[in-house]
A and B are shown apart, each in its own frame.
Chain A
Amino acid sequence: MSELELRQTTVAASAQHLLLTRRPRLPRVGTLLAFAFVLFLVVATFAPALVATQDPNLIAPTEAFRAPSAAHWFGTDESGRDVYSRVVAGTGTSLLIGVSATLIGLVLGLALGLLASFGGRIFDFGVNRVIEVLFAFPGLLLALLVIVIAGPGPVTATIAVGLSTAPGYARIIRGQFVSIRSAPYVEAARVLGRSPARIVTRHVIPNALVPLFVLATLGIGQAIVWAAALSYLGLGAQPPAAEWGAMLAAGRTYLATAWWMTVFPGLMIVGTTIATTVLGRALARRGKDA
């Protein structure tokens, strides 16, 4: 392994170590807030009618561009639709894109990482080069190519974003595995004669999962942001889908006249990123302590 890779593994290992051993054990205000926010998101995803105040697709051109008020908490958009209800309605799609893209990236990254760490030196070298090649493709370009090839829409946007985040995950996962591989308990298992497969499934993966989980929660927000960039370029979710990224992109045009159209979806994205990450770290701590 090269010096650079050693450095990266050490960074990854110490990051994991720190994430889990630095904080006190009681739930904090931040965690509770994050939990409440995520709860709201879950309800908005599966039962939007419970939290939305109006029909998100109800057009009312004469009510266009109204500022936030009692009747419309987040104001109305260019077609008179209630922005709050659209934000709620868009939760499902946006989260789906974020979670799916992250899952795709993780699964691919896991596969690559496993291959690199446990497939022997040749695989290690080969996969590292593949990861470098994928890194050399700017993520947005990859996404653009995928969409131009396969057509626009949330599905292709998800796949595109997932593919472009995979190399990043692969590298970190590989670093994780390498550091775990040289840990004492794995040494012991090997000395005791356990099979490689058993070592991987019983020792390596469970220990790698926790920091991965934390990474993934951060990745969800990131994936939504990438998908939003694709919507800005006109290649993301199709109308009238109330996807946050699309709303953010569409509302940007009216920033001077109707700031609420873009600020509130933006806050949702930022809020989701923060909430999922905070909650992820809190859960990871619990898992480690248990």
Chain B
Amino acid sequence: MLRRTGLLLAGAVFVMWAVATLTFFAIRLIPGDPAQAILGGPGSQASQEALDQVRRDYGLDQPLIVQYLAMLGRLLTGDLGTSYALKVPVAELLGAQLGGTLLLAVLSLAVAWVLALALSLWSTGRSRIATVLGEWIELAAAALPHFWFAAVLIAVFSTALGWFPPVATGTPAGLVLPVVTLAVPLAGFLAQVMRESLLDAMQQPFVVSARARGEGALGIRLRHTIRHAALPGISLSGWALGWLLSGAVVVETIFAMPGLGRTLLQAVTLRDIPIVTGVVLLIALVYVVMTILTDAASRLADPRLRRQAAAR
């Protein structure tokens, strides 16, 4: 148990380090002068002295390896640096945004789960038509681009029907459309995977014997097979979160919600390196935590995995 935890933590630290390094070098590839980004962005008329001063102040004239080590050193103390454009500490800025994005992602994941579970339960192991319909709905849902789906939802549920606001309002009502935008395509993905496991489970001997005992179809679904359907969903949740964070970039922009996605987009446009680095690291951290959690959840949900662990 201890060994296992140690390995997990070591893996997590490795991932964070690798992400920081990759980001550092990838960003250096972006064309454009960071000193200019600091001095008010593109099109500014900064003087040569100002540019030189900034390069000295921010250590931009040091050799690359020195800058890299300096960045690592700062990270170890939790210092994410100062935003070039906004001139405030990155940690402060991102701390305010993290909550919003996480809420959006977690809610979307939960709703996607429910939708996927419902769809796969409803359409599996019954009539041929239900199965085909279910498959096509899954595929169509998974193929919906966020920016397009959001526009349709706003046009129908906001402009035409007036049920929900088209931009974030700080109330739960303002979360509904963004969450649905993210949840439906994800549900399409999850449903496809869940359906396969569900089908598998439905053919198992314990289900056959349950039917023989006279249990109804719904009862079988809820009592025996739902765990089998849910399992792949759990292990995919880590990936799903990453996917949701990508979608959040578009959704936060469209619905004017403060969040990491929107911050990231603006930072890339403005070449604001500290913010880009900070957001990437934060996302990596969330992902790593999520992986650890889903590992634990999998073992909890699947007795086979627990038995394996006990046998070690």
Residues of A within 8 A of B (CB): 2-4, 6-8, 11, 14-15, 17-19, 22, 30, 129-130, 132-133, 135-141, 144-145, 148-149, 168, 218, 221-222, 225, 228-229, 232-233, 245, 248-249, 252, 255-256, 262, 266, 269-270, 273-274, 277
List the A residue with the shortest CB-CB distance to B286.
A136
- A274 near B22 (CB under 8 angstroms)? no
Bound complex: CA of A222 vs CA of B138, how far in Å? 13
- B29 near A149 (CB under 8 angstroms)? yes
B242 proximal to A (CB < 8 A): yes
B291 proximal to A (CB < 8 A): yes
Bound complex: CA of A7 vs CA of B144, how far in Å? 29
11 A-B contact pairs sorted by A residue (CB < 8 Å): A14-B200, A15-B197, A133-B19, A136-B283, A139-B242, A141-B246, A145-B26, A149-B30, A255-B152, A274-B140, A274-B143
Q: Which residues 253-291 of B sit at the A interface, judged by CB distance below 8 A?
A: 264-265, 268, 279-280, 283-284, 287-288, 291
Question: Interface-forming stretch among B62-70, B164-172, B294-302?
Answer: B294-302
Digitize B192-205: 1 where CB-to-A-CB distance is under 8 Å, 0 elsewhere: 01001101100000
Q: Which residues 231-253 of B sit at the A interface, judged by CB distance below 8 A?
A: 231-232, 235, 238-239, 242-243, 245-247, 249-250
- B280 near A6 (CB under 8 angstroms)? no
Q: Which residues 175-193 of B sit at the A interface, judged by CB distance below 8 A?
A: 193
Of A14, A17, A138, A273, which is in contact with the most chain B CB atoms at under 10 Å from its CB? A138
Output the least CB separation between B216 and chain A (Å): 23
Bound complex: CA of A161 vs CA of B178, how far in Å? 24
Q: Which of B136, B145, B152, B295 contacts A4 (CB 8 A)?
A: B295
Query: Which residues in A have their C-beta under 8 angstroms from that of B139?
Result: 218, 221, 270, 273-274, 277
Query: Which residues in B have their C-beta under 8 angstroms from that of A222?
Result: 142-143
- B15 near A136 (CB under 8 angstroms)? yes
Q: Can you list the 7 inter-chain pairs with the closest CB atoms, starting with the nearest?
A: A140-B246, A136-B284, A273-B143, A3-B305, A138-B246, A136-B287, A133-B18
Given A11-B235, A149-B26; 9 other pairs, CB 8 A cutoff: A3-B308, A7-B298, A129-B18, A137-B22, A140-B246, A145-B268, A149-B29, A269-B145, A274-B140
Query: Which residues in B have their C-beta under 8 angstroms from that of A248?
Result: 145, 148
List the B residue with the shortest CB-CB distance to A11.
B232
Query: Which residues in A have their C-beta under 8 angstroms from that of B159?
Result: 256
B221 proximal to A (CB < 8 A): no
Q: Which of A19, A30, A269 contacts B143 (CB 8 A)?
A: A269
- A249 near B197 (CB under 8 angstroms)? no
List the B residue with the shortest CB-CB distance to A253.
B151
- B283 near A270 (CB under 8 angstroms)? no
- A4 near B268 (CB under 8 angstroms)? no
Query: Which residues in B have their C-beta under 8 angstroms from that of A22?
Result: 199
Output the least CB separation between A27 and chain B (Å): 14
Residues of B within 8 A of A (CB): 11, 14-15, 18-19, 22, 26-27, 29-31, 132, 136, 139-140, 142-148, 151-152, 155, 159, 193, 196-197, 199-200, 231-232, 235, 238-239, 242-243, 245-247, 249-250, 264-265, 268, 279-280, 283-284, 287-288, 291, 294-295, 298-299, 302, 305, 308-309
Given contacts A19-B196, A274-B139, A274-B143, contact A129 B232 (CB under 8 A): no
- A30 near B132 (CB under 8 angstroms)? yes
Query: Which residues in B have their C-beta under 8 angstroms from that of A135?
Result: 238-239, 242, 287
Given contacts A4-B294, A168-B239, contact A273 B148 (CB under 8 A): no
Given contacts A8-B235, A135-B242, A140-B246, contact A2 B295 (CB under 8 A): yes
Output the least CB separation between A139 and chain B (Å): 5
List the A residue with the shortest CB-CB distance to B31.
A149
Q: Which of A7, A8, A132, A141 contacts B15 (CB 8 A)?
A: A132
Query: Which residues in A have their C-beta under 8 angstroms from that of B298?
Result: 3-4, 7
- A133 near B22 (CB under 8 angstroms)? yes
Query: Which residues in A have their C-beta under 8 angstroms from that of B250?
Result: 140, 229, 232-233
- A270 near B231 (CB under 8 angstroms)? no
- B231 near A129 (CB under 8 angstroms)? no
List the A residue with the shortest CB-CB distance to B152.
A255
List the B residue with the shortest CB-CB distance to A3.
B305
Query: Which residues in A have their C-beta under 8 angstroms from that of B245?
Result: 138
Bound complex: CA of A225 vs CA of B68, how far in Å? 36
Given contacts A14-B197, A133-B19, contact A7 B231 (CB under 8 A): yes
Query: Which residues in B have their C-beta under 8 angstroms from that of A277?
Result: 139
List the A residue with the shortest CB-CB distance to B295.
A4
Output the least CB separation between B231 and chain A (Å): 7
Bound complex: CA of A15 vs CA of B26, how far in Å? 36
Given contacts A3-B295, A14-B200, A132-B15, contact A252 B151 (CB under 8 A): yes
Query: Which residues in B have their C-beta under 8 angstroms from that of A19?
Result: 196
Bound complex: CA of A229 vs CA of B261, how far in Å? 14
Query: Which residues in B have their C-beta under 8 angstroms from that of A139?
Result: 242-243, 246
Output the least CB separation between B3 and chain A (Å): 12
Of B142, B145, B199, B308, which is in contact with the most chain A CB atoms at under 10 Å from its CB? B145
